[in-house]
Structure formats: structure tokens, C-alpha cells
């Protein structure tokens, strides 16, 4: 079978036809904007290409594949689509088909192999890798390497990323038994740790748990959970993603929890899409639907339990803004809650930055495989940051957080602006 | 397109011409269902001079030119059904001047309508034409289609705001029409001729538009009815009572439900029809008229009439209404809408006729639109794969057109003829009317390179049309 035949067979025709080409998606699409209004790099254009290949009207050309590669997968086109086209699903299926048939470049292969197959599926590996980063940072190796200029061999964005990686805390074993709510108990939540959050951002996880407990949540942390599989799914590695989905569903199934809660928008939206991922599987479909129904971002749970009305944090006077996580906003529909939580902090002078709901260009491994577009988007984002002039940028997803740190570095704002995760921000000075 | 031609186009535009399969596919459609055809090249000129050179070159080679804004057209007006060059204006997208002494704005054609509206509103000025696609559409496209919008009832449509144009004619010459003038009768009104010409007479490269002072206050109201005819009667009654609201929009039950499913702004799902009413002006007058309109609606049987409490709520209601057409696409794979327009006093009759015609042909037609303008958008939700049903849809729309014309109306109020409605144009104009238009077209564009097939229908040149 050819890749074109696979498009005919596997792409969801109903969903393709659901796009009525009105163009309402265009102003929301970061790559359409960045390319000066090039329809090739718009959701409508991409769907037209998928459909034309599906309909057997054209072979899949390199330019078409490139158009799909350049898509951030931010899904900003979904909430603005009156027809309700599930663009993310179409993109993922198209990428999976292309991945099944096309040879990736050597550079892409290396990134894929190390990041997708080795690092993310295996938490132990992630521990070790992040442990290495810590060793690298604390042993003096970092200084040495920077001096030799070894990093010049890597793309600019990766080199800069190295500078902004957070200082990795020494790994502490999380106590896996039940953690009790502080004060009156209102709900039991099962905590999804995530792979990156559990290693590089351990402290953020601990802070999230602390906040949830003070909102009246008992916390259980199921054993056996792992990476959500989003990076794999978005990159067209569907089989791998399914494997990880099943593992997570199994791990959380036995828990008597009201909600499954996490603090990474990218993972959350993916977990909430497990039912679609497993829709072809009669046995797992139902289990995935039950799992999905419980997924919540921690900010929603805090607001739901009146946390913002009961708890007050005090910080010294500062100007603060919020950068949406695309998948938290467009995938899970959560965007009021983080803003509401920030504004409850005493001393917070909240300012909404222009285009705060636009992607920052991080988009999973996008900043590694599409560095040019990613940096173009990021540099535009930083112009808006400069205009809003905050001292703090709050985000709700690890990828966005690292990207914002990188943006601060690139814009020469280090020392004036800091980027923090919402869970770390919600604290007293 | 052969390499020589593409190379010339690249030469003229400093490299801004392309023709990969992906490029051609991405510009093979607009917002019209059922029409798709591949162009031969996609070209983005940066100035009127470049446009002029492109036009001269295409004319010498016999290559069709299709000017295209953002491709939100709803009558296949920007689908390159005869192939050729799709002309884009993404490099000509600057607001050149806001003249606060003459109350005009001068723009390049690629400016997004909403950006223009926002820019002048920052200075306390008002550009009323607001097509539902205004966040996406370009001003050049609006002028070429003479677009309407939600504020047409009180403020008119695009043509009422175009004071002057710069355009490249089919022979490559550049003309300037009109100006920053309140009065100008120097010869034929070429400004009006080019406005709404759908790109068949030339390419608009610059426009000077009229602005008016921003009204000092605005109120928005939602009236709910248990029957469609009550809402339609209320429209006529409001106008009979000598009130001209800024906006008077109608939505039937199916449309309300689809829109609410998308926008979640709290539209009443139990209503058979709603009217969305907006009035602006001096505060006291607005309050008086809103009160009077409320009474009229209630007298016609409205079971609820409520004012929007905040500007945000009002804005949400209007934005939701703008999504109506696309929201209906949720219901079925294909949505085909029409744009039949009747004199205001005939709205109730037209609504009734649409219901009967839909029943007769067993098709589902949802209706919404600018009721105050007599401009309804009966929209058929169907499936293009079902050929038998598509024939019935076509038959139903033919009858709707006939009925509109019988009531003294027209086949299109604001979407343009394009290629989609070309077969019905004669019904409205008669043979002699079409003949006059054809003479104008032939004298200005004897080689028929400017957006061929549009308005007058297919030229002899047959092309393979891709897709359904």
C-alpha cells in the first residue's frame, strides 16, 4: 500500500468533510500569521491537502509533508472553529501515516530515537538523564563545556536551551502512601506525576500536592504510571502512545479517586484524549472514557473547591502576566482558572499580555525539530512580553516554562523577568 | 505553468510567485462548497506597479487572473475555476493614512477588515460595514464583493463608504477614481462600478474609505418568539414604526441550537426564533427606541425580551451570530447557503415561503440573517455525497430564488454572483440587463482575463474541476 492509499483508508472522511473552509481558523493559527498569511501553513490549507490526498486527487508531496511538520499542533484552531472540526485528531492521524511510510532525516531520527523511544517512555531513563543534567550542572562540567564551545555544534535553540535548564534538585523519593488533606476533606484525587514533571520539575509537583492538600484534597499517587505519550502521539508514533495510554489507564483504574489531577497542560489534554486514541479498541474504549472523565488540571480543582476564596498568599508588589498553555486552553478549555488564581495573590499586579493565548513555539519537541519557526514565534512572543513589562511570567506546562525561560534569555531580559510554573508561583514570598 | 512563465512572475515580484502542488492546492478553493479548481500559480505583488506588470504579462499570455483576499467568498468568486494566477494581497496590507480632518482612511487592499475597524475606533471613528467574516476578510475583498454585514440596516454596506479607488485595469493601466470628496460628479461613477465588480473589471490596489463619528452609546437586546412568523412580523412592525435599529438579526430554532452548541453564550434553546436587536446613538434616544422595540416585540408575541447587561455580553451575542453559517456545518457534512433578499416588508412572506419550499422538496433548511435588511440566509444542511438529495437541494434553491424575485427581491444581497449564482443572474436582470453588463465587461476586458467565469458563468474554456 502507498502512503496515499493509507490516507484514503485511514483518514476520517467525515471529519475532513466537516471543514467547510470558512476560514474562521486563519487568524488563530500561529504559522499562518508567521508566514504572512500563507494558506499552505493554515489549518484550512492543511485539511485541504489531507483531503485531496485522501480523495486520490494528488500524491503526497514533500511540500505537503513539510506543511504538516511546520504545524505546531497547538490546536488554537479548534475552539474558534464553529463547525467543531477536530483538527488535532486529523493532524495526528496524518502524521502517523506519514511516519509509517516516510524516512525521517538523520537529525530527526536521532532526536526521535533518544527523546521518544529512550527517554520519555521509561521513567528510570528519564531519572538517569535528568540526573546527568544535574551532574553536568553541579560538577563543573557545565562551565568546562561552555568554555570549549562544544555546544556550538548544536542548533542555536538547543544551545540556548542548555543555558536555561532549571537547576535540577537532588532526587528525593516521593513517599507514595496517601497524603491527607490539610483541613476539611473535600475530595480524593489521584495525582498524575508526568515524566518531566516528576524529574526536572519535582519541586513543582511537590508544590502542586501542597496546594491540592490545602484545598481539601486527599492525594493518592498510583504506582506504575508513566509518561502520557503525548510527544509520541503528536510525532506520529501512535503505537507507542497507545502502549503508554494503556499503562496509565491500568495504573489509575484501581484508585478510588474523584479526579485524576495534574499540572501539565500538554499531558492533561493528551490524557483527556485517550478515548479517541483507543476508539478502535472495543475493550479499552470504555476504560479510556472512564479515565478521561476524571482528568482535571490542578487549577480547576483549586477553583472548584473555593481555594481562591479561602487562601491568601502575600508577595511583595510585582507585575505578573500569564502565558496560556495551548493544550490546557484549547484541549482542556482551562484558561480562566489560572488567571483567577494569580489575581488572588496579594501584591500581584496582573496584566494580560497581548496574544497570551497564542503558542510560544515550544510545542513538545517542535523547538528541536523546527528551530527556525519556533524561534520566530518565540521572538514575537517576547515583543508582547516587553510591551506588558511583567516581572513574572506564569505558565502551566513544563514545555512552555522552558520556552519562556529561553525567550527571556534571548530577549536579554534575564534578571528582570522570571518564568515560573503556576504551582510554584502560588506561595508566599 | 511552465518554468518560463513562473520565472517572469517571480522576476516581477522579486520572487513572490510559486507553483508547488501544495501551493496550488491551498489556493484552489474559497468558502463556497462544491467548487474547487487548481490555479497555475500563486503570486503576491508588493505594489500597484507590480500588479500592473503582472496584468500586462498575463494579458499578453492569455492567463486568467483571480484576485483573492482571504478566501472567505461564498459564491465561488475567488475559486480559480479557469486556472491561471491567483493574486494575493498579503504584501499589500498597510493602513496608509487615517485623516481625522476629512474623516477618511486610506488602505491597501490586503488590510483585514477588523484591523481597520479597530484602528479607526481607537481614534473615536467608525467604519460600519461588518461582514460576519470581518476578522478574516480583507478590505479589498469587501470592496470587490460590496460586502454587507450586521449593521447594514442603518448604516448601509461597503459601497456606501468607498470614496475613491486606485485600480489596475485589464490593460495594465492604473486609474484613480473619486477622492476624499463628499461630492464628485466628474463623469461616470467608476468607484461604484468597480465596487462589487467581483474582480472582473480590474484589480483594486488602494482605497479611500469614508468614516463617521463613533456613536456615543449602544444597547443590545434579545427577543424570543414561540413562532417564526411572530418574529418576522415584529421586524416589519419595528420598521413601520419608523425605527431603524443598527442591527436586526433573525435566527430560527435550528440555527440557535447549532450556534449555542459552539459559542455557549446562553442562547434560548426553547425559542422557535429570536431577534437580535442593536441600536446606537445618543443615549436618551437609544433608551427610548429600545423600549419601544421591546413593546413592539411583546405585542407581536415575544415571550421574553431582555437587554444585554454588559458590553461583553452584547459582544458575545453578536460574535455568536457571526458564527451561524459555520456553526450549522456541525449538523451535516455539507452546508449550502443562499443570500436571497427581499424588500423589508416582505420578510415574513419570504420566511413562510422558505419553510414551504423546504417541506416540498424534503430538504432541511435553517434560516438566519439580516432580517431588517430583508436579507435572509436560508442554509441547507446536506451531504454532497448524496447526489439524489443534492438535486432536490438545487431544486429548492431555484424555487427560493424565484420566490424572492416574485416578491421584488434579488438572488444575492451581499455574497456576490460569483460562479455559483451565475446561472440565475438573468432571472433578476433580464436579457437586456445582462447584455449591458456584458458590454461593459467586454469593452474593458476584451480578452476576458479578469476573473473569468464569474458573474456571467462559464467561458468556453473547460477545466477539470477537482473535488466535490
Residues of A in contact with B329 (CB under 8 A): 18, 20, 22, 82-83
What is the C-alpha separation between B129 and B107, in angstroms, rounded?
Answer: 15
Test A18 with B329 for CB contact under 8 angstroms: yes
Buried b (16+ CB within 10 A) or exposed e, B328-348: bbbbbbbbbbbbbbbebebbb
Test B329 with A22 for CB contact under 8 angstroms: yes
Place of cell 459601497: B159
Judged against a pLDDT cut of 80, whether residue A113 lies above it is answered with no
pLDDT of residue B463: 40
The CATH-assigned architecture of domain B217-317 is 2-Layer Sandwich (3.30)
Identify the bridge partners of residue A420 per DSSP, sorted by sequence position: A394
Residues of A in contact with B259 (CB under 8 A): 82
Main-chain dihedrals φ then ψ at residue A79, nearest 5 degrees? -65, -20
Residues of A in contact with B31 (CB under 8 A): 20-23
Cβ contact B52:B84 at 8 Å: no
pLDDT of residue B438: 96
Are A211 and A282 found together in one domain? Answer: yes
Q: Choose the mutation target among A27, A52, A57 for the interface with B, i.e. most B CBs under 10 Å.
A: A52
Please indicate, yes or no, if residue A169 is contained in any of the structural domains. no
Write the CA distances from A120 to A73, A230, A249, A365, integer angstroms.
19, 10, 17, 12
Test B70 with A81 for CB contact under 8 angstroms: no
Q: What percent of chain A has pLDDT over 70?
A: 84
Min Cα distance A51 → chain B (Å) is 9
- H helical segments located in B30-123: 48-61, 113-121
Higher model confidence: residue B48 or residue A166?
A: B48
Q: Are strands A259-262 and A187-191 parallel, antiparallel or unpaired?
A: parallel
Measured in whole angstroms, the distance separating CA B36 from the mean position of its chain's CA atoms is: 19
**Residue A94 in grid coordinates:** 496524518
pLDDT of residue A171: 62
Test A20 with B326 for CB contact under 8 angstroms: yes
Q: Model confidence at A25, in pLDDT bands (50, 70, 90)?
A: very high
The last residue of one of the domains, among A101, A123, A140, is A101
Main-chain dihedrals φ then ψ at residue B105, nearest 5 degrees? -130, 140
Q: What does pLDDT average to over chain B?
A: 94
pLDDT of residue A175: 54
Judged against a pLDDT cut of 60, whether residue B176 lies above it is answered with yes
Judged against a pLDDT cut of 90, whether residue B271 lies above it is answered with yes
Min Cα distance A53 → chain B (Å) is 10
Place of cell 421574553: B304
Query: What CATH number does the domain containing A384 carry?
Result: 3.40.50
Residues of A in contact with B71 (CB under 8 A): 21, 23, 39
Test A45 with B25 for CB contact under 8 angstroms: yes
pLDDT of residue A284: 95
Are A232 and A312 found together in one domain? Answer: no
Q: Model confidence at B466, in pLDDT bands (50, 70, 90)?
A: very low
Nearest to B33 among A20, A27, A63 (CB): A20
For B350, half-sphere exposure in the C-beta direction (CA atoms, 13 angstrom radius) is 39
Nearest to B27 among A39, A57, A84 (CB): A39
pLDDT of residue B373: 93
Test A36 with B91 for CB contact under 8 angstroms: yes
Q: Model confidence at A61, in pLDDT bands (50, 70, 90)?
A: very high
Q: Are strands B375-382 and B304-307 parallel, antiparallel or unpaired?
A: unpaired
Q: Model confidence at A167, in pLDDT bands (50, 70, 90)?
A: confident
What is the C-alpha separation between B307 and B292, in angstroms, rounded?
Answer: 13
Beta carbons within 10 angstroms of residue A163's beta carbon = 14
Test A36 with B467 for CB contact under 8 angstroms: no
Q: What percent of chain B has pLDDT over 70?
A: 98
Query: What CATH number does the domain containing A10 carry?
Result: 1.10.1060.10
pLDDT of residue A254: 82
Model ipTM value: 0.94
Q: Model confidence at A308, in pLDDT bands (50, 70, 90)?
A: confident
- H helical segments located in B370-424: 387-406
Range of lowest pLDDT (A42-51, A112-121, A349-358, B223-232): A112-121
Q: Choose the mutation target among A25, A32, A40, A53 for the interface with B, i.e. most B CBs under 10 Å.
A: A40
**What average pLDDT score do residues B407-426 get?**
94
Place of cell 510554584: A424
Judged against a pLDDT cut of 80, whether residue B298 lies above it is answered with yes
Judged against a pLDDT cut of 90, whether residue A106 lies above it is answered with no
Judged against a pLDDT cut of 50, whether residue A243 lies above it is answered with yes
Cβ contact B81:B150 at 8 Å: no
pLDDT of residue B461: 40
pLDDT of residue B243: 96
Cβ contact B138:B87 at 8 Å: no
At the top level of CATH, the class of B3-88 is: alpha beta
Please indicate, yes or no, if residue A402 is contained in any of the structural domains. yes
Range of lowest pLDDT (A165-174, A217-226, B100-109): A165-174
Helix B425-444 with B387-406: angle, nearest 10 deg: 90
What is the C-alpha separation between A123 and B18, in angstroms, rounded?
Answer: 47
The CATH-assigned architecture of domain B332-452 is 2-Layer Sandwich (3.30)
Residues of B in contact with A83 (CB under 8 A): 326-327, 329-330
Q: Model confidence at B467, in pLDDT bands (50, 70, 90)?
A: very low
Place of cell 497570551: A356
Are A344 and A419 found together in one domain? Answer: yes
Q: Are strands B273-281 and B247-252 parallel, antiparallel or unpaired?
A: antiparallel
Are A65 and A123 found together in one domain? Answer: no
SS3 B33: coil
Range of lowest pLDDT (A97-111, B82-96, B361-375): A97-111
**What average pLDDT score do residues A163-177 get?**
65
SS3 A377: helix
Test B326 with A26 for CB contact under 8 angstroms: no
Judged against a pLDDT cut of 70, whether residue A417 lies above it is answered with yes
pLDDT of residue B289: 97
- For A234, the domain range is 187-302
pLDDT of residue A312: 85
Please indicate, yes or no, if residue A175 is contained in any of the structural domains. no
pLDDT of residue A119: 64
Judged against a pLDDT cut of 90, whether residue A235 lies above it is answered with no
Judged against a pLDDT cut of 60, whether residue B428 lies above it is answered with yes
Test A64 with B21 for CB contact under 8 angstroms: yes
Are A93 and A120 found together in one domain? Answer: no
Are A69 and A121 found together in one domain? Answer: no
Write the CA distances from A394 to A35, A375, A425, A426, B118, integer angstroms.
28, 20, 7, 10, 29
Model confidence over B18-62: pLDDT tens digits? Answer: 999 999 999 999 999 999 999 999 999 999 999 999 999 999 999
Test B29 with A24 for CB contact under 8 angstroms: no
Min Cα distance B379 → chain A (Å) is 13
pLDDT of residue A177: 67
Main-chain dihedrals φ then ψ at residue B209, nearest 5 degrees? -115, 150
What is the C-alpha separation between A108 and A104, in angstroms, rounded?
Answer: 6
- A–B interface: beta-carbon pairs under 8 A: 107
Model confidence over B50-105: pLDDT tens digits? Answer: 999 999 999 999 999 999 999 999 999 999 999 999 999 999 999 999 999 999 99
Q: What is the CA radius of gyration of chain B?
A: 22
Q: Model confidence at A138, in pLDDT bands (50, 70, 90)?
A: low
**What average pLDDT score do residues B291-298 get?**
97
pLDDT of residue A92: 94
SS3 A349: strand
What is the C-alpha separation between A235 and A116, in angstroms, rounded?
Answer: 9
Residues of A in contact with B78 (CB under 8 A): none
Write the CA distances from A32 to A64, A341, B66, B327, B398, integer angstroms.
15, 32, 21, 22, 38
Q: Model confidence at A142, in pLDDT bands (50, 70, 90)?
A: low
Nearest residue on chain A to B30, alpha-carbon basis? A21
pLDDT of residue B53: 98
Are A332 and A373 found together in one domain? Answer: yes
Q: Choose the mutation target among A18, A28, A51, A82 for the interface with B, i.e. most B CBs under 10 Å.
A: A82
Range of lowest pLDDT (A22-36, A160-174, B226-240): A160-174
Are A412 and A320 found together in one domain? Answer: yes
What is the C-alpha separation between A150 and A142, in angstroms, rounded?
Answer: 11
The last residue of one of the domains, among A101, A126, A153, is A101
Q: Which residues of A touch B (CB under 8 A)?
A: 14, 17-18, 20-24, 26-27, 36-40, 42, 45, 48-49, 51-52, 55, 57-59, 61, 63-64, 66-67, 81-84
Nearest residue on chain B to A13, alpha-carbon basis? B333
**What average pLDDT score do residues B333-346 get?**
92
Cβ contact B351:B407 at 8 Å: no
pLDDT of residue B464: 39
Q: Are strands B41-43 and B17-18 parallel, antiparallel or unpaired?
A: antiparallel
Cβ contact A48:B29 at 8 Å: yes
What is the C-alpha separation between A396 and B255, in angstroms, rounded?
Answer: 36
Judged against a pLDDT cut of 80, whether residue A73 lies above it is answered with yes
Is the domain defined by B95-213 classed in CATH 3.30.465.10? yes
Judged against a pLDDT cut of 80, whether residue A131 lies above it is answered with no
What is the C-alpha separation between A260 and A295, in angstroms, rounded?
Answer: 5
Please indicate, yes or no, if residue A176 is contained in any of the structural domains. no
Are A196 and A139 found together in one domain? Answer: no
Domains in chain A: how many in total? 4
pLDDT of residue A139: 64
Q: Model confidence at A323, in pLDDT bands (50, 70, 90)?
A: very high
Write the CB contacts of A389 (distance below 8 Å, at least 6 apart in sequence).
Answer: A319, A351
Nearest residue on chain A to B329, alpha-carbon basis? A83
Min Cα distance A32 → chain B (Å) is 11
pLDDT of residue A198: 78
Place of cell 434560516: B367
Min Cα distance A23 → chain B (Å) is 6
Judged against a pLDDT cut of 70, whether residue A134 lies above it is answered with no
| Closest alpha carbon to B194 in B159, B160, B161 | B159
Cβ contact B227:B140 at 8 Å: no
Write the CB contacts of B256 (distance below 8 Å, at least 6 apart in sequence).
Answer: B267, B268, B269, B271, B273, B274
pLDDT of residue B462: 41
Cβ contact A284:A246 at 8 Å: yes
Nearest to A26 among B22, B70, B327 (CB): B70
pLDDT of residue A365: 80
Min Cα distance B25 → chain A (Å) is 7
| Closest alpha carbon to A267 in A352, A208, A181 | A208
Q: Model confidence at B468, in pLDDT bands (50, 70, 90)?
A: very low
Q: What does pLDDT average to over chain A?
A: 88
The residues spanned by each domain of chain B are 3-88, 95-213, 217-317, 332-452
Q: Model confidence at B356, in pLDDT bands (50, 70, 90)?
A: very high
Domains B3-88 and B332-452 share a fold: no
Amino acid at each position: 500500500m502507498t502512503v496515499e492509499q493509507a490516507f484514503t483508508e485511514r483518514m476520517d472522511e467525515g471529519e475532513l468533510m466537516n471543514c467547510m473552509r470558512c476560514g474562521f481558523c486563519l487568524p488563530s493559527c500561529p504559522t499562518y500569521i508567521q508566514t504572512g498569511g500563507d494558506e499552505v501553513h493554515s489549518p484550512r490549507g492543511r485539511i485541504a491537502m489531507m483531503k485531496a490526498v485522501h480523495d486520490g486527487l494528488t500524491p503526497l508531496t514533500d511540500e505537503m509533508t513539510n506543511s504538516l511538520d511546520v504545524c505546531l499542533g497547538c490546536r488554537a484552531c479548534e475552539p474558534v472553529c464553529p463547525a467543531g472540526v477536530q483538527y488535532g485528531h486529523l493532524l495526528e492521524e496524518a502524521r502517523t501515516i506519514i511516519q509509517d511510510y516516510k524516512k525521517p532525516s538523520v537529525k530527526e531520527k536521532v532526536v526521535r530515537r533518544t527523546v521518544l523511544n529512550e527517554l520519555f517512555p521509561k521513567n528510570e531513563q528519564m531519572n538517569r538523564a535528568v540526573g546527568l543534567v544535574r551532574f553536568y550542572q553541579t560538577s563543573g562540567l557545565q562551565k568546562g563545556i561552555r568554555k570549549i564551545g562544544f555546544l556550538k555544534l548544536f542548533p542555536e535553540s538547543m544551545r540556548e536551551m542548555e543555558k536555561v535548564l532549571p537547576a535540577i534538585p537532588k532526587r528525593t523519593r516521593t513517599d507514595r502512601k496517601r497524603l491527607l488533606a490539610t483541613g476539611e476533606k473535600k475530595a480524593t484525587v489521584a495525582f498524575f506525576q508526568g515524566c518531566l514533571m516528576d524529574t526536572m520539575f519535582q519541586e513543582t509537583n511537590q508544590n502542586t500536592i501542597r496546594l491540592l492538600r490545602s484545598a481539601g484534597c486527599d492525594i493518592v499517587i498510583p504506582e506504575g504510571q508513566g509518561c502520557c505519550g503525548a510527544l509520541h502521539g503528536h510525532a506520529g508514533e501512535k503505537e507507542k502512545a497507545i502502549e503508554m495510554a494503556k499503562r496509565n489507564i491500568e495504573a489509575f483504574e484501581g484508585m478510588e479517586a474523584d479526579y485524576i489531577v495534574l499540572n501539565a497542560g500538554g499531558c492533561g489534554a493528551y490524557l483527556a484524549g485517550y478515548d479517541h486514541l483507543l476508539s478502535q479498541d472495543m475493550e479499552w474504549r470504555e476504560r479510556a472514557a472512564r479515565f478521561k472523565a476524571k482528568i482535571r488540571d490542578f487549577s480547576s480543582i483549586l477553583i472548584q473547591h473555593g481555594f481562591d476564596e479561602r487562601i491568601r498568599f502575600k508577595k511583595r508588589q510585582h507585575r505578573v502576566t500569564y502565558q496560556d498553555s495551548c493544550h490546557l486552553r484549547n484541549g482542556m478549555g482551562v484558561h480562566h482558572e489560572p488567571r483567577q488564581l494569580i489575581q488572588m495573590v496579594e501584591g500581584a499586579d496582573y496584566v494580560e499580555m497581548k496574544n497570551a493565548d497564542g503558542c510560544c513555539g515550544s510545542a513538545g519537541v517542535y523547538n528541536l525539530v523546527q528551530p527556525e519557526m519556533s524561534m520566530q514565534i518565540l521572538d514575537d512572543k517576547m515583543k508582547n512580553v516587553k510591551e506588558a513589562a511583567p516581572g513574572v511570567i506564569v505558565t502551566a506546562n513544563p514545555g512552555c516554562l522552558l520556552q519562556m525561560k529561553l525567550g527571556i534569555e534571548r530577549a536579554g531580559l534575564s534578571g528582570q523577568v522570571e518564568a515560573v510554573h503556576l504551582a510554584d508561583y502560588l506561595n508566599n514570598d | 505553468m511552465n518554468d518560463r512563465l513562473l520565472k517572469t512572475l517571480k522576476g516581477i515580484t522579486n520572487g513572490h510567485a510559486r507553483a508547488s502542488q501544495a501551493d496550488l492546492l491551498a489556493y484552489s478553493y474559497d468558502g463556497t462548497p462544491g467548487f474547487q479548481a487548481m490555479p497555475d500559480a500563486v503570486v503576491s505583488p508588493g505594489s500597484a506597479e507590480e500588479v500592473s506588470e503582472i496584468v500586462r504579462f498575463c494579458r499578453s499570455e492569455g492567463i486568467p487572473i483571480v484576485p483573492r483576499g482571504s478566501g472567505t467568498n461564498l459564491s465561488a468568486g475567488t475559486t480559480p475555476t479557469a486556472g491561471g494566477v491567483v493574486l494575493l494581497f498579503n504584501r499589500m496590507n498597510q493602513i496608509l493614512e487615517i485623516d481625522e480632518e476629512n474623516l477618511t482612511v486610506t488602505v491597501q487592499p490586503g488590510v483585514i477588515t477588523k484591523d481597520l475597524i479597530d484602528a479607526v475606533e481607537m481614534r473615536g471613528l467608525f467604519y460600519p460595514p461588518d461582514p460576519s467574516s470581518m476578522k478574516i476578510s480583507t478590505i479589498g475583498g469587501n470592496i470587490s464583493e460590496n460586502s454587507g454585514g450586521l449593521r447594514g440596516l442603518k448604516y448601509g454596506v461597503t459601497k456606501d463608504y468607498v470614496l475613491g479607488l486606485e485600480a489596475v485595469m485589464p490593460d495594465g493601466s492604473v486609474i484613480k477614481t473619486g477622492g476624499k470628496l463628499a461630492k464628485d460628479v466628474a463623469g461616470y461613477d467608476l468607484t461604484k462600478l468597480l465596487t462589487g465588480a467581483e474582480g472582473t473589471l480590474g484589480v483594486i490596489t488602494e482605497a479611500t474609505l469614508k468614516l463617521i463619528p463613533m456613536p456615543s452609546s449602544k444597547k443590545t437586546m434579545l427577543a424570543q418568539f414561540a413562532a417564526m412568523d411572530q418574529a418576522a412580523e415584529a421586524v416589519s412592525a419595528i420598521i413601520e414604526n419608523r425605527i431603524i435599529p443598527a442591527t436586526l438579526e433573525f435566527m430560527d430554532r435550528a440555527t440557535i441550537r447549532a450556534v449555542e452548541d459552539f459559542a455557549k453564550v446562553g442562547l434560548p434553546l426553547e425559542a422557535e426564533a429570536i431577534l437580535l436587536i442593536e441600536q446606537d446613538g445618543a443615549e436618551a434616544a437609544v433608551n427610548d427606541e429600545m423600549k419601544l422595540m421591546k413593546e413592539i416585540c411583546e405585542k407581536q408575541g415575544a415571550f421574553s425580551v431582555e437587554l444585554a447587561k454588559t458590553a461583553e455580553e452584547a459582544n458575545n451575542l453578536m460574535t455568536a451570530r457571526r458564527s451561524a453559517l459555520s456553526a450549522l456545518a456541525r449538523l451535516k457534512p455539507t452546508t449550502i447557503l443562499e443570500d436571497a433578499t427581499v424588500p423589508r416588508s416582505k420578510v415574513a412572506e419570504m420566511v413562510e415561503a422558505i419553510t414551504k419550499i423546504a417541506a416540498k422538496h424534503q430538504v432541511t433548511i435553517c434560516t438566519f440573517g439580516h432580517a431588517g435588511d430583508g436579507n435572509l440566509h436560508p442554509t441547507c444542511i446536506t451531504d454532497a455525497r448524496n447526489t439524489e438529495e443534492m438535486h432536490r437541494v438545487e431544486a429548492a434553491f431555484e424555487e427560493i430564488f424565484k420566490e424572492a424575485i416574485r416578491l421584488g427581491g434579488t438572488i444575492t444581497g451581499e455574497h456576490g454572483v460569483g460562479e455559483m449564482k451565475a446561472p440565475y443572474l438573468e432571472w433578476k436582470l433580464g436579457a437586456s440587463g445582462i447584455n449591458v453588463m456584458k458590454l461593459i465587461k467586454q469593452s474593458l476586458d476584451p480578452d476576458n482575463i479578469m476573473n473569468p467565469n464569474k458573474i456571467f458563468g462559464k467561458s468556453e474554456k473547460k477545466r477539470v474541476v477537482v473535488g466535490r
